Amino acid sequence: MFALEIKGLTKAYKNGVKALHGIDLTVERGDFYALLGHNGAGKSTTIGIISSLVNKTSGTVKVFGYDLDQQLNLVKQCIGLVPQEFNFNQFEKVMDILINQAGYYGIVRADAVQRAEIWLKRLDLWDKRHQQARRLSGGMKRRLMIARALMHQPNLLILDEPTAGVDIELRRSLWMFLAEINQQGTTIILTTHYLEEAEMLCRHIGIIQQGRLVQNMAMKDLLAKL
């Protein structure tokens, strides 16, 4: 069984834009996979479909064997999503954001508080737990989104351009954090337009161009070709 198995995935937006033209892609369990491509290539559309924020036009998607069309709730349980844009209530406090997120997944409060403490400490946000989200810096907001995505202990963590717009120091510490999470067993897929980021972290890479997957290989094979 794969962490992710996509076959013949297409997407035409309502305005007529054809964002994906038949993507086939598998990601092994435990892998760290980069989806690399220029702006507009179709990265966000692909992960939007996997995380059920965007409807696909055709094709099949399976996450840990669960079919997106038939078993949506099970798929959602498996996935933690870190979107590119901050999408939490800016007036909510950091701790409450995490506890409410856990609530969506039926996690009882006492467990949620414990998990929130673990992630806030690991992501260096513990001191900010009583602050409203709007008081956080951009880098802190991004770490908060990662903590939120991990609250229900997903098997697959998906991040859309996780280090876009963050300074070099935070980028390095996020890379270290993600490498640790992956070593502890979480499969990770991230999108990026930096080859360097993919190279630092990922074992497999897919290159997407104009809605088509034009390369899909082990990172070491790609590096040998360059």
Under the rule (CB under 6 A), what is the footprint of ligand ADP?
Answer: 13, 15, 17, 19, 37, 39-45, 53, 76, 81, 83, 87, 101, 104
Cβ atoms of 36 and 202 closer than 8 Å: no
- State the residue for tokens 């939490």: 88
Q: For ligand ADP, which is the closer residue by CB, 42 or 162?
A: 42
The number of C-alpha atoms within 13 Å of 195 and in the hemisphere containing its C-beta is 6
- Of 27 and 78, which CB lies nearer to ligand ADP in the complex structure? 78
Euclidean distance between CA atoms 90 and 69, whole angstroms: 32
Residue 116 CB, shortest distance to ligand ADP, in Å, is 15
Cβ distance 117 to 89 under 8 Å?
A: no
> For residue 189, which of 21, 40, 50 has the smallest C-alpha distance?
50
Min dist. Cβ of residue 121 to ligand ADP (A)? 21
Q: Which is nearer to ligand ADP, 68 or 169 (CB)?
A: 68
Output 73 or 169, the one with its CB closest to ligand ADP: 73
Pairing of strands 212-218, 204-209: antiparallel
Question: For residues 18 and 172, which CB has a smaller minimum distance to ligand ADP in the complex?
Answer: 18
Q: Dig out the tokens for 13 from the structure.
A: 């937006």
Strands 58-63, 66-67: pairing kind: antiparallel
Q: How far is the CB of 84 from ligand ADP (least distance, A)?
A: 8
Q: Which lies closer to ligand ADP via its Cβ, residue 191 or residue 224?
A: 191
Q: How many angstroms separate the CA atoms of 61 and 50, rounded? A: 7
**What single letter denotes the amino acid at residue 107?**
I
Least distance to ligand ADP from the beta carbon of 59, Å?
A: 15
Query: Please, what is the minimum distance in Å from the beta carbon of residue 176 to ligand ADP?
Result: 23
- Planar angle of CA 112, 151, 4, nearest 5 degrees: 150
CB of residue 169 to ligand ADP, shortest distance in Å = 25
DSSP code for 155: S
